[in-house]
Structures are given as structure tokens and as C-alpha cells.
């Protein structure tokens, strides 16, 4: 085989951030983007609908492997590729668990992974019974199509789910978890089985969207709250049990009674791993490319004692970007700035900043300071719905969180 | 100003390696490549002759700044851009010193920078006189057009320069320097004056081509051979004295009698700085983009105690590249592999490997091991002339070296 060719379905910032890793390694990357001018436009070789079999098959026919910027490619499209002998990583069976929250909960339970109490409910009576058994409150989720606050609601009576039962045979109901903080365990697995694990990270949500990531999660590796090994074990068993290939992010709650419970899965590079671009020997984007090509995985060790990533949400209008660059670079010369080539919109993830170093307080301060220069009062607050596919799945992590933090 | 747009003239691996930095920051990069399928093809928006004024002006007309993959753009083309109000970084006056070795030597001497003994000679008699005054041997160089062994020869009599005097009014003659090793001081300067300096590196040539770089240069920062401060001072005075913007590499000899003498200058990212991609907080490619846009410069601190970069010369035939990836990645999971999307050819720079860490011996061993997997008996030895523009200037560093090492 000559120069490896990776085809990425989806043109969001996750595909964009695979481009530097591909260029540096010397891998060819091609992107099937949803629209012209996507975040990953530099590598876009085709624009089309990822739900259309013919479109995706035409894109996939001469690449070595197909992978994804998001988990929303329909099963019939995925299976058409597999049937045609195309390497699809992760494969349809794994992605099914990322696409259907009920199937995910069922499978994790089979595997013995720790999850919140949950049930599949088919009507208001069953829902009411679950609520009654769980302190009078629960989280109701549609199995599919839920993101960014849609498809998820806090309910205190069976009646509150009535309208959704018209559209779905079964809904997922979960206990409202009381937790100290959220963790994300990032892991990579290649088809031939090798696994590599980054240090577990703490994720901090703001307004239902990932806002900050601290890696490694403070205190996770030592003392009474030694969660690092547990988190790694959970992620390994899920990656193997669900046959996930590429990067997998396992989002977890650290509960107030010191357990880890699996909240959501993302089968692709993930916001909780953006720190690895600057803070790890092997970034999640390089590792994802290596993994989906079934190449040996790189060293995921952290380069510094602490890494903090802060998202730029909303962001400045495009005409102001250079001014923001200048002021941020001037004040924090060690900040690694990343912007995604996306126009500003309230609550939209348009970039991030990472700072690494020995002193966590200092690192946190510098990362927040640098990111703060990109704040914009007009776009910072999420007043609308962002339909970015990437943001969509990522923010689903917050569905079990807002009322308890 | 909105998203900054940088236009790069030349599509070699230096332009290619600017692409990841541009994508990560969120800067738009456009490349004027010499040919289809260049190393920087992903960002190539135009293919054409960089010596043609109309071609370059068409490329330059809607970018924020023009910079370069090499120093060979003719002065009339450079000045046409400046006359049209286009920001050209580095500018024509600075590049003139990189294009004409005699002017460079004259200017460095004016600045008081330490250089080998040299003279401009117009005929065999003047050349003979210089040879007689310098132990019967000297290095003769054509002022322009010399690279990769062309335009440079070791001479022991005035007659040996006779044919070149037919083509050039004046030739540059230099003493054959006896040196312990070669150093390279990488520095970045922005138009408004800010300067940032990376740790001085040791460069090791093989067969006249840069082969390994060790950063920082062992012993340069401490003890009797404390050259780091001297090297920095020399580079700063040159960057300011020649009004260089962007990245400048100052290649120096550390002589057997413990002096530093300036050998060559490169006004662009340079092979001696490839280690900064993985070994420094701010890579030379990111810093070059920031500098030419007159944005504040990033922190050039090393991330680890030692970085070693080993070039992949010649390299495997393209059909074998994935096999080589697999074996190198398997054996050295912490090696950072870089390949340039160029076909194999004897002696050609087709990639490099960087390893960083605390123990120099271990780092060196691992970098050499990883790079070694890409060796190919058919292409390793330089049996021909590589006309890559990037290689061209870089290898001129060896012109004063081969007989003394």
C-alpha cells in the first residue's frame, strides 16, 4: 500500500483538526463536507449529503478507510460501505450504540459497566413508576435524535413525557445523578486490538456546553479519590465490548458518593481531548488516524504536569478575529490558540485555547485569560440552537447535569 | 481585518509544514506552487513560475502578506509587489543578502558579525594570493546560483577558479574553517521589531546534507563552551541589521579555537528548526506565520530537555511507505514521524523524525532508530543532484565543511 488515504465523513472542526495530523504524518485526508465553506474546507474533496448512499459510496470508493466527524451517518449507508468491502472505522455495529441511547444503556449494562439507574419506558404509567422510585425526579431521553437540549428533559411526572410517547415506542429514563464533577476518559483502539489511553480529564460544562477541560483530572491519580485506574478500566471494557475503533470518549459522573457512572459515549475525537493537540505526545487526531488505519498507536503521555483547555464559545465576528489574535498572543505568549474557521454564533464552538505547565492555578488562569479575549457579549450566551453535528453530540453530556451542579 | 490570509511562494516541504500551523491557528494559507502535486499541494491555489511578475502579482493581489518557501524569487518580482503596496516578508532588501553571498559577507562584516576570512576576487591572481595567505587552500563560491555542491569548490590554486571568472565579475573566496561542529541559531522577528529566539541547536551533516539536529546544542548553555548567549547575540544583530522578518536561521561554525563564525543565512523556516514542531512550545512554522503577519510572537521554549531530529534522506519508494510507518510506529511509539509527500530520490529530503526526552543518549538512539526504518539502500546515498529549492539552500551549509570533518 502506498500513501494511506483516509476519508472523513463530515466537515466540522473535528475533521478540520485531523488535517494537521494527516499533513504532518504524510497521510492523505479527504473530507465529505455537508456544505461549501465547512470548517474542514481545506481537505474537502466533495460536498454532499452523508445520508445518501450513492453520495457516500462515491466518496468512499477509493480511500483506504472511512471514518467520521460525527456519529450521524445512517446504518444503511454504513452497511452499504461494509458490504462493498470498504473499511469503515468505527463500524456500523459500534456506531449503533452511539446512535441509540437505549441500545447503549442495554449493552453497557450487559458488560457490567457502571451506569445510572435506567429503564426503557413505553407509556406515562411506566415513567411515573420510575420517577416514584427515584426521589420524584428523572431524566427522560429520546433514544435517537437528541442533542443540544433537544430530546432530553427533566421530568417529575409521567404526564411530562406524554407527547414523546406519540413519536417513540420506547423512551430512556434515567435517575438524576448527584455528582461532584464530570470526567472524560479518552481511549484509542485499533482493529487489531491495541489500545492506548490518555490521562483521564475533568470536564466542566457551562450552560449545557463543554467549557473547560483539565487534564489530568485533579486528584484522579492519587489519594482517596483515585479514579484514574477505574476510569481506564471502564473505558477499556467498553472499547472492547462494543468493538470500537478509533478514538472513544467515555463521559462519566463522579458521584457525590464516590462512584463513577458512565453518562455518554462519543466514537470519534472529542472536545474533552482537544488538550492532547498541545498537551500530549500523540494528539487524539493523530491517534485516530493511526487507529482507523490499523497502524501502531502513539505514546499518549502528557507533555506537562497540567493541561487546561478552554473553549471559545460564540466568539468574535470574523472581521475582529485578527485583533483578538493580537491581544491574546501578546498577553499569553505560551497559549496555544485554535480557531475553526466558523462564523460567530451564540454558543457555537468556534475555537479553543490550551495552556500547559507545572502549576495548575497558573495554567488555568492563563488559559482562561487567553480565551477570554475572544469573548463577545453578543455571541457568548447560547440563545439559540446550534445544529452543528459535532456540538450536538458533545453537549448531550450535560443532559444529566444542569440541575445538580 | 478578518481572517488573515498568508500567501506562500513555493510549494516545497517548508510551505507544507506551514499548513498545520495555519489550520490550527485559523489562518488561511495559499501556496503558489511550481508544479502540480507539490509537497504543499493541499494548500496550493495556483501553479506557476515564481520568476514571472504577472504570475506572482496575480497570486499576491488578495492576500494579507506574501512570504516564501525559498529565497529564490527574483528582486524585480519582489519589488513589483512592494511597489503595489503588498506586504512582503521578509522584504527584498533582506532577501538580497540571502541571494548574494558576496553582499551577505560585506554586510555581515559591516555589522561586526564574526565571519570566516573572506575576499571578493576578480581573477586567478587575486584568488592565488588569498590561497597563499590561508595555508594553501580556500573555498571558492559563486555569489549567486550556488547550491548543493554547485557554485562551491575547494581550491588550492588560482587556476582552479579560471572557468568561473568567465561567468562572474567577482567571486567569493573564504578560508577553509577548521571547526569542531556546526550550530544553528533560529530566531524570529516581526516587522514591528519583536524578536524571539529558540535554543541554539547543533547540526550534523552527512554527505553534504543536514542529517541530524540536536537541540539545545549539548554544552552550549553552560561550562567552558558556553556559546548559547554568543549565538543569540549574533543572530539578533543580524536579524536587526539586515531587517529580516519571519524566521531566520543563522548557521555557524564552532571553530577548533573556540570561536563562532557565521557560515550561511536562511530567511525562512529551516531544516535546523524542524525539531520545534514537536519540541518547542511554538514551532518555527507557527512563529513564521505570526511574524510575517506582524502578530505577537509565541513562546519558543523547549518542551523537553533534549530534542533530536533525524532527516529521512532518499526514503522508501512510495508503495512501501505504509509498511515503514507500521514498523517505525511499532518500535518507537514516542517518535514523531513526518513525511513530505515527495517521491523517493537519492539524497532527497522526504521526511524527518523527532524524539524528545530527558536523556540525550536515549533520545538520540530512538530518533535514529525510527528514522532508520525509512532508509532504503537504493535512495539513501546522494548520487545525483536534487534541484528542490528548499534542499538547495540548506545544503550550502556544508560547503565549508566536508574536508574538515
What confidence tens digit (pLDDT) does each residue in B2-51 have?
899 999 999 999 999 999 999 999 999 999 999 999 999 999 999 999 99
Q: Which of B389, B393, B91, B96 is nearest to B246 (CA)?
A: B91
Give contacts of A329 with chain B, Cβ < 8 Å.
Answer: 290, 295-298
More confident residue, B400 or B260: B260
Count of all residues that appear for chain B in the document: 405
Return the pLDDT at A402.
33
Mean pLDDT of A141-153: 78
Q: Quick one: pLDDT at residue B191?
A: 98
pLDDT tens string A155-204: 999 999 889 999 899 999 999 999 999 999 999 999 999 999 999 999 99
Rounded to an integer, the average pLDDT of B150-174 is 92
CA distance A48 to chain B (A): 20
3-state DSSP helix/strand/coil percent for chain A, to nearest 5? 35, 25, 40
From B24, B290, B337, residue closest to A329, measured CB to CB: B290
Which residues of chain B have a CB within 8 Å of the CB of A20?
Answer: 19-21, 23-24
Question: CA end-to-end span of chain B, whole Å?
Answer: 51
CATH match for B5-88 among 3.30.470.20, 3.40.50.720, 3.40.30.10, 3.40.50.20:
3.40.50.20
B chain contacts of residue A2, beta-carbon cutoff 8 Å = 318-319, 321-322
Q: Is B140 in a helix, a strand, or coil?
A: strand
Q: Is a pLDDT exceeding 90 seen at residue A295? A: yes
- Distance separating alpha carbons of residues A7 and A64, to the nearest angstrom: 8
CB proximity A85 to B under 8 Å: no
| B322: pLDDT strictly greater than 70 | yes
B342-398 pLDDT, tens digit per residue, is: 988 888 899 999 999 999 999 999 999 999 999 876 665 544 334 344 433 333 334
* Minimal Cβ distance to B339: which of A16, A19, A25: A25
3-class SS of residue B261: strand
> Residue B20 is nearest to which of A1, A2, A20, comparing CB atoms?
A20
Between positions 108 and 127 of A, the ones with CB within 8 A of B are none
C-alpha cell at A329: 498572543
pLDDT confidence bin for A345, thresholds 50/70/90:
confident
Q: Of residues B65 and A405, which shows the higher confidence score?
A: B65
Structure-block grid coordinates of residue A10? 463530515
* Domain ranges for chain B: 5-88, 117-175, 179-400
User: Which chain A residues contact residue B362 at CB under 8 A?
Assistant: none
pLDDT of residue B401: 35
Cis bond leading into A90, ω under 30°?
yes
Element at A249 (helix H, strand E): strand A246-255
Work out the minimum CA distance from B161 to partner chain A, whole angstroms.
Answer: 43
> Which of A3, A281, A326 has the CB atom closest to B334's CB atom?
A281
| Rounded Cα–Cα distance for residues B185 and B197 (Å) | 8
Is B182 flagged in the annotation as binding?
yes
Q: In the predicted model, what is the mean pLDDT of residues A69-81? A: 97
B333 with A19: Cβ contact below 8 A: no
Backbone conformation region of residue A286, classed left if phi is above 0, alpha if psi is from -120 to 50, else beta: alpha
Q: Does the structure show a pLDDT above 70 at B137?
A: yes
Whether residue A116 has pLDDT greater than 50: yes
Does the pLDDT value for residue B65 go beyond 70? yes
What are the cell numbers at A108? 453497557
Tell me which residues of chain B, numbers 269 to 308, contact chain A at a CB-CB cutoff of 8 Å.
Answer: 277, 281-282, 290, 293, 295-299, 301, 303-304
The distance of A299 to chain B (nearest Cα, Å) reads 5
CA atoms of A340 and A4, how far apart (whole Å): 25
Report the residue from B1, B2, B333 with minimal CB separation from A299.
B333
Tell me whether residue B319 is annotated as binding.
no
A296 vs B contacts (CB less than 8 Å)? 326, 329-330, 333
Does residue A26 belong to the interface with chain B, where contact is any CB pair within 8 Å?
yes
Interface test with A, best of B24, B279, B352 (most A CBs within 10 A): B24
- Better-predicted residue by pLDDT, B382 or B297: B297
Question: Do B5-88 and B179-400 fold alike per CATH?
Answer: no
User: Is residue A2 within 8 angstroms of chain B, CB to CB?
Assistant: yes
Listing DSSP states for A176-240 in one string gives ---EEEEEEEEEEE-TT--EEEPPPEEEEEETTEEEEEEESPTTTTSSTT--HHHHHHHHHHHHH
Work out the minimum CA distance from A122 to partner chain B, whole angstroms: 47
Q: Which of A298, A301, A341 is facing B26, going by the closest CB pair?
A: A341
A353, β-bridge pairs: A310, A337
Using CA atoms, how far apart are residues A400 and A393, in angstroms rounded to an integer?
A: 14
* Percent of chain B predicted with pLDDT > 70: 90
**Per-residue confidence (pLDDT) for residue A404, from 0 to 100:** 27
Helix (H) or strand (E) holding A248: strand A246-255
The answer to whether B176 is annotated as binding is yes
With an 8 Å Cβ cutoff, are B297 and A17 in contact?
no
Q: Per residue in A146-161, is it b (16+ CB within 10 Å) or e — as a string?
A: bbbbebbbebeebebb
pLDDT band at A222 (very low <50, low <70, confident <90, very high): low
Contact by Cβ (8 Å): B250, B384 = no
Alpha carbons A47 and B275: distance in angstroms, whole number: 36
* Residue B160 marked in a binding site: no
Question: Residues of A forming the annotated binding site?
Answer: 101, 141, 174-177, 182, 263-264
User: Out of B2, B25, B299, whose CB is closest to A318?
Assistant: B2
Confirm or reject contact between A1 and chain B (CB < 8 A): yes
Please tell me which residue of chain B has the smallest CA distance to A326: B295
CA distance B209 to B394: 8
Q: Which residue of A has its CA nearest to B41?
A: A23
Helix axes B13-25, A13-25, angle to 10 degrees: 160
Nearest-CA residue of chain B relative to A350? B26
What local confidence, expressed as pLDDT, does residue B383 receive?
40
Task: Report the distance separating Cα A323 and Cα B214, nearest Å.
Answer: 37
Is residue B31 within 8 Å of B8, Cβ to Cβ? yes
CA A229 to chain centre: 21
| Residue in A with minimal Cα distance to B5 | A322
Grid coordinates standing for B182?
556546526
> What pLDDT is attached to residue B364?
98
Q: Do B334 and A301 touch (CB under 8 A)?
A: yes
Residue of A nearest to B300 (CA): A334
Judged against a pLDDT cut of 80, whether residue A224 lies above it is answered with no
* Mean local confidence (pLDDT), B169-193: 96
Q: Do B290 and A341 touch (CB under 8 A)?
A: no
Average pLDDT over residues A283-291: 98
Nearest 5°: the CA angle B172, B178, B184 is 80
* DSSP track, A345-372: -TT-EEEEEEEEES-HHHHHHHHHHHHH
Neighboring chain A residues of B333 at a CB cutoff of 8 Å: 282, 296-299
Buried b (16+ CB within 10 A) or exposed e, A366-405: bbbbbbebbebeebbebeeebebbbbbbbbbbbbbbeeee
Structure confidence at residue B385 (pLDDT) = 39
H or E segment to which residue A152 belongs: strand A152-155
pLDDT at A208: 72
A295: nearest CA partner in chain B: B326
Q: Would you state the pLDDT for residue B124? A: 95
Q: Edge-to-edge, what's the strand order for the sheet holding A118-121?
A: A118-121, A171-175, A138-141, A152-155
DSSP string, B164-188: HHTT-S-EEEEE---EEEEEEEEEE
Cell of A37: 465553506
Q: Do A3 and B303 touch (CB under 8 A)?
A: no
Q: Is residue B202 pLDDT above 80, yes or no?
A: yes
Pairwise pLDDT comparison (B20 vs A226), residue with the higher score: B20
pLDDT at A290: 98
Q: Which CATH fold would you assign to the domain A179-400?
A: D-amino Acid Aminotransferase; Chain A, domain 1 (3.30.470)
Chain B residues close to A15, C-beta within 8 Å: none
What pLDDT does B141 receive? 94
Residue A8 contacts B, CB cutoff 8 Å: no
- Nine cell digits for residue B236: 539578533
- Provide the pLDDT confidence category of residue A274 given band limits of 50, 70 and 90: very high
For A5, the grid coordinates are 488515504
Choose the closest CB to B340 out of A26, A299, A341. Answer: A26
On the question of pLDDT at B99 being above 60, the answer is: yes
* CATH 3.30.1490.20 corresponds to the domain A117-175: yes
Distance (Å, rounded) from C-alpha A73 to C-alpha A59? Answer: 14
Residue B310 · residue B385 · CB < 8 Å: no
User: Contact at 8 Å (CB) between A197 and A247?
Assistant: no
Q: What residue of B is the nearest CA neighbor of A22?
A: B20
**pLDDT of B336 over the 70 cut:** yes
Q: Which three cell numbers stand for residue A284?
A: 487524539
Q: Which of A183-187, A330-334, B216-220 has the lowest mean pLDDT?
A: B216-220
Amino acid at each position: 500500500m502506498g500513501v494511506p488515504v483516509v476519508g472523513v465523513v463530515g466537515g466540522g472542526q473535528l475533521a478540520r483538526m485531523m488535517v494537521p495530523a494527516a499533513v504532518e504524518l504524510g497521510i492523505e485526508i479527504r473530507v465529505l463536507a455537508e456544505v461549501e465553506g465547512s470548517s474542514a474546507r481545506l481537505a474537502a474533496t466533495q460536498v454532499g449529503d452523508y445520508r445518501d448512499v450513492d453520495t457516500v459510496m462515491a466518496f468512499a470508493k477509493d480511500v483506504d478507510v472511512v471514518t467520521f466527524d460525527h456519529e450521524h451517518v445512517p446504518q444503511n449507508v454504513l452497511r452499504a460501505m461494509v458490504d462493498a468491502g470498504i473499511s469503515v472505522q468505527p463500524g456500523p455495529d459500534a456506531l449503533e450504540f452511539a446512535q441509540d441511547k437505549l441500545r447503549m444503556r442495554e449493552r453497557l449494562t450487559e458488560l457490567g459497566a457502571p451506569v445510572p439507574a435506567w429503564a426503557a419506558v413505553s407509556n406515562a404509567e411506566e415513567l411515573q413508576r420510575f420517577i416514584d422510585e427515584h426521589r420524584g425526579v428523572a431524566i427522560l431521553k429520546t433514544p435517537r435524535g437528541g442533542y443540544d437540549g433537544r430530546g432530553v428533559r427533566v421530568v417529575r411526572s409521567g404526564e411530562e413525557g406524554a407527547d414523546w410517547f406519540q413519536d417513540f415506542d420506547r423512551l430512556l429514563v434515567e435517575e438524576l445523578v448527584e455528582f461532584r464533577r464530570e470526567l472524560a476518559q479518552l481511549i484509542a483502539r485499533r482493529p487489531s486490538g491495541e489500545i492506548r489511553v490518555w490521562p483521564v480529564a475533568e470536564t466542566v460544562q457551562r450552560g449545557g456546553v463543554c467549557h473547560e477541560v483539565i487534564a489530568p483530572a485533579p486528584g484522579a491519580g492519587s489519594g482517596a479519590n483515585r479514579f484514574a485506574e477505574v476510569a481506564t478500566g471502564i473505558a477499556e471494557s467498553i472499547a472492547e465490548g462494543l468493538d470500537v475503533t478509533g478514538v472513544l470518549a467515555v463521559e462519566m459522573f463522579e458521584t457525590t458518593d464516590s462512584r463513577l457512572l458512565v453518562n455518554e459515549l462519543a466514537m470519534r475525537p472529542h472536545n474533552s481531548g482537544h488538550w492532547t493537540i498541545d498537551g500530549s505526545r500523540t494528539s487524539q487526531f493523530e491517534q485516530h488516524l493511526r487507529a482507523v488505519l490499523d497502524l501502531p498507536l502513539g505514546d499518549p503521555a502528557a507533555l506537562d504536569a497540567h493541561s487546561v483547555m478552554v473553549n471559545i464559545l460564540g466568539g468574535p465576528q470574523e472581521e475582529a478575529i485578527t485583533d483578538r489574535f493580537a491581544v491574546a498572543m501578546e498577553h499569553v505568549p505560551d497559549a496555544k490558540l485554535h480557531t475553526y474557521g466558523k462564523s460567530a454564533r451564540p454558543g457555537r464552538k468556534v475555537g479553543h485555547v490550551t495552556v500547559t505547565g507545572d502549576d495548575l492555578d497558573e495554567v488555568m488562569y492563563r488559559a482562561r485569560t487567553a480565551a477570554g479575549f475572544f469573548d463577545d457579549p453578543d455571541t457568548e450566551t447560547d440563545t439559540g440552537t446550534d445544529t452543528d453535528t459535532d456540538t450536538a453530540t458533545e453537549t448531550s453530556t450535560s443532559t444529566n447535569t444542569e440541575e445538580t451542579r
